[in-house]
Amino acid sequence: MTWASLVHVVISGLATGSIYALMAIALVIIYNATRTLNFAQGEMLMVSTFVGWTAMQVLQAPLIVALAVAVIAAALLGFVLERVVIRHAISATHFDVLIITLGLSLMLRSAAGVTWTHDEFPFPSFFSNRPLIVGPLRVAPVSLGIIGASLGMMLALGALFRWTRLGRAMRAVAQNQRAARLMGISVERVYSSSWMIAAVVGAVAGVLIAPVIFLSSKMGLVAINGFTAAVLGGFGSMPGAVVGGMLLGVLENLAPLYLPASIKHSVPFLVMITILIVRPGGVLGRVARRKV
Amino acid sequence: MRRAALATGAVIVLGWPWAAPRYFVFLASLIAVNAIVAIGLNLLSGYTNQLSFGHAGFLAIGAYAAAILTIRAPALPVPVALLLAGLVTGAVGLALGVPCLRLEGLYLAMATLAFGFVVVEAILNLEILTRGNDGLHVPAARLGPWSLATDTARYYLVVAVASLLIAAAVNISRTRTGRALLAVRESEIAAQASGVNLAAYKTLAFVVSAFYTGVAGGLFALVVGFVSPDSFDVFLSVDFVAMIIVGGLGSILGSVIGAALITTLNDSLAGFQNYRPLIFGAILVISMLFMPGGIASALRRIPGAVAWPPFTRRDDR
């Protein structure tokens, strides 16, 4: 194995890794607001990507329209799901809300299958497929594009959390809901915006990854790797989500080089089990300590 | 009243193969198998609050253990094969349960989910034993002089084992152990303060749950006659969770009702594969929103209804 091909593997690993990171961020945003693991995250991504794609097909419009429509659809979907379903269960236990999002994910996937069939569709990409050749290095522009766009998205989110009123409110709610409410923050509004922002992050990730893994009702499964990434970095931490996602992407691409090829699909699960057993707080996180 | 209800139930269950068409005898066997899994899962999730999305993995281990035993050692009596299937699965449950003690809530759900995937991958890769994707045909098992070759014979076997395990579960729930498990569910801290050894009881719940599911897996292999990795995907784990949610967390009667409902529903929706998850998801969401205690607690609220569920979940929030 030459170092050039190693660089190639690592870069494509970072590309899938940034998608995992985006998924992990979306999950963490919802977790921080409503203390729920959103099992429907992947299906929300899938549905909004499908909606964007359909708009593009119907209007014969350029790809950017698909992205815009997907983002709007996602925000709407996130808003409606939170308002209609999750809000009613907010006083319930985690267990119950977890089951509800699980039910939602089954419903969304099935509804997508009924609407768009369970086939795989090719999805256009913003980036060309021709490899970029720099000296001995061959790099796919798709990978670089995905990494760049994801980093841009992460910076935007970082800015949102750091400098806007809404971002501060979201961080306050994540730290202590009761105190946030006493400071006059509308916690309900934070729930709503968290679900919308998470859905939008998912939609962007969906449009970025669809050219690589095809558009299909199954593409929501990518969210499982998002869970793993979030756990790997320490659930609840944004920088952890980014690091976890990148790490998982690279691991997943490197593992088949050194281990039997059939192991690739098990990598995320093995990583998840190992990290949960060895270091439940994640590589960056504090050890998850149980509170009374 | 209670005796009468039990006796009527027994007559219906025992007379079923003579009254119902052959296919429904098979379906009833599947319901009994799933009821065992649901009880096992309920002992874990309903009693000690440890949610598992990996029970399809335990079922697969039990099914493959029984299938391989029946193929390699045809002389082995069925009860021994089932017991071994349960013990093997219980051992795996111990191996998974101990590290999982450190996890709770979401983390546990994710770890068990991952466990389910890993089991399927392991089955695919251990081709010498499992023949990978091709699956294994399970020959008719023997019980003493009888060969369990008909649906009716297998039905009686499954019903016998299920009754035994249901009785055992009811008894466990009434002993010191059962009360300790319930205490763990209500408040881990209060339970610990009252001298309940948390680690021991949570691990015990894991092992017993895995044992039940392993035995059910063995029965599944015998009833269906064929095991392949496809039968044990993550959606099966979701089905099991649905059974205890719909039936009622922490209720044994509820587990049985949930298993019967979900299995029948699955079967009647077989022709509408596309809509099945849609309906399923809707059932999960609706029962969580409007009936968080499941059918068992809904029954309890009807005055004069069968006061059978022997232990009650704390009244719904």
Q: Is residue B315 part of a domain?
A: no
Where is pLDDT greater, at B130 or A82? A82
| Chain B interface mutation, best of A23, A110, A235, A275, highest count of B Cβ atoms under 10 Å | A110
What is the Cα gyration radius of chain B?
19
Question: In terms of residue numbers, what domain contains B186?
Answer: 22-232
Q: Could you give the 3-state DSSP secondary structure of residue B215?
A: helix
| Nearest Cβ partner for B278 among A96, A107, A268 | A107
Give pLDDT, residue B121: 84
Is there a contact between A40 and A108 (Cβ–Cβ < 8 Å)?
yes
Tokens of A151: 């980093």
| Nearest Cβ partner for B281 among A89, A104, A290 | A104
Contact B281 A276 (CB under 8 A): no
B121 touches chain A (CB under 8 A): yes
B56 touches chain A (CB under 8 A): no
Give pLDDT, residue B309: 41
Task: State the pTM of this model.
Answer: 0.82
Contact A100 B124 (CB under 8 A): no
What average pLDDT does the structure give for chain A?
Answer: 85
* Least Cα separation, residue B107 to chain A (angstroms): 7
For chain B, how many helices (H) and strands (E)? Answer: 14, 4
Interatomic CA distance for residues A190 and B90, integer angstroms: 44
Per-residue tens of pLDDT for chain B, all 317 residues: 677 777 888 788 777 777 777 778 888 888 999 999 999 998 888 888 788 888 999 999 999 998 888 888 877 788 888 899 999 999 999 988 887 777 767 778 888 888 888 888 888 888 777 787 777 887 777 776 677 777 777 888 888 888 888 888 888 888 888 888 888 888 888 888 888 888 888 888 899 999 999 999 999 998 888 888 888 888 888 889 888 888 888 788 888 888 988 888 888 887 777 788 888 888 888 888 877 777 777 776 655 444 444 444 444 33
Name every chain B residue with its beta carbon within 8 A of the beta carbon of A270.
Answer: 114, 118
Question: Which residue is closest to A89 within chain B, CA to CA?
Answer: B289
Left if phi > 0, otherwise alpha if psi is -120 to 50, otherwise beta: which for A27?
alpha
ipTM of the predicted structure? 0.78
Question: Which residue is closest to A282 within chain B, CA to CA?
Answer: B107
Q: Is residue B310 part of a domain?
A: no
Give pLDDT, residue B300: 67
Cα distance from N-terminal residue to C-terminal residue, chain B: 30
B272 touches chain A (CB under 8 A): no
| Nearest Cβ partner for A98 among B109, B111, B281 | B109
Q: Is residue B16 part of a domain?
A: no
pLDDT digits (tens, 9 = 90+) for A218-273: 888 888 888 888 888 887 788 888 888 999 999 888 887 777 766 777 787 888 87
Q: What angle do CA A250, A255, A260 make, to 5 degrees?
A: 160
Please compute the mean of the pLDDT values over residues A67-72 and round it to a whole number.
93
B176 touches chain A (CB under 8 A): no
* Least Cα separation, residue A235 to chain B (angstroms): 9
Count Cα atoms within 13 angstroms, Cβ side, for B5: 8
B142-143 and B136-137: which strand pairing?
unpaired
Give pLDDT, residue A290: 47
Number of domains in chain B: 1
Tokens of A135: 């000296």
Interatomic CA distance for residues A199 and B139, integer angstroms: 50
Interatomic CA distance for residues B191 and A220, integer angstroms: 40
Element (H, E) at B227: strand B226-227
Judged against a pLDDT cut of 90, whether residue A200 lies above it is answered with yes
What is the percent of chain A with per-residue pLDDT over 70, rounded to a whole number?
Answer: 93
Q: Is residue B245 part of a domain?
A: no
* Least Cα separation, residue A133 to chain B (angstroms): 37
DSSP state of A215: B
B292 touches chain A (CB under 8 A): yes
Size of interface A-B (CB pairs under 8 A): 116
- Backbone phi and psi for residue A257, each to the nearest 5 degrees, phi listed first: -70, -30
Q: Is residue B165 part of a domain?
A: yes
Count Cα atoms within 13 angstroms, Cβ side, for B49: 19
B127 touches chain A (CB under 8 A): no
Interatomic CA distance for residues B102 and B195, integer angstroms: 19
CA distances, A281 to each of A194, A249, A251, B53 (Å): 23, 19, 19, 21
**Please, where are the H alpha helices in chain A?**
3-34, 41-59, 63-84, 94-116, 141-163, 165-175, 177-182, 187-213, 222-233, 238-258, 267-278
Judged against a pLDDT cut of 60, whether residue A291 lies above it is answered with no
Q: Is residue B218 part of a domain?
A: yes
pLDDT digits (tens, 9 = 90+) for B75-123: 778 888 889 999 999 999 998 888 777 776 777 888 888 888 888 888 8
Q: Is residue B119 part of a domain?
A: yes
* Least Cα separation, residue B126 to chain A (angstroms): 12
Q: Is residue B290 part of a domain?
A: no
Which long-range contacts does B178-181 make (Cβ < 8 Å, 24+ apart)?
A: B178/B47, B178/B311, B181/B43, B181/B47, B181/B48, B181/B205
pLDDT digits (tens, 9 = 90+) for A94-143: 677 888 888 899 899 889 988 888 888 888 888 877 777 777 777 788 88
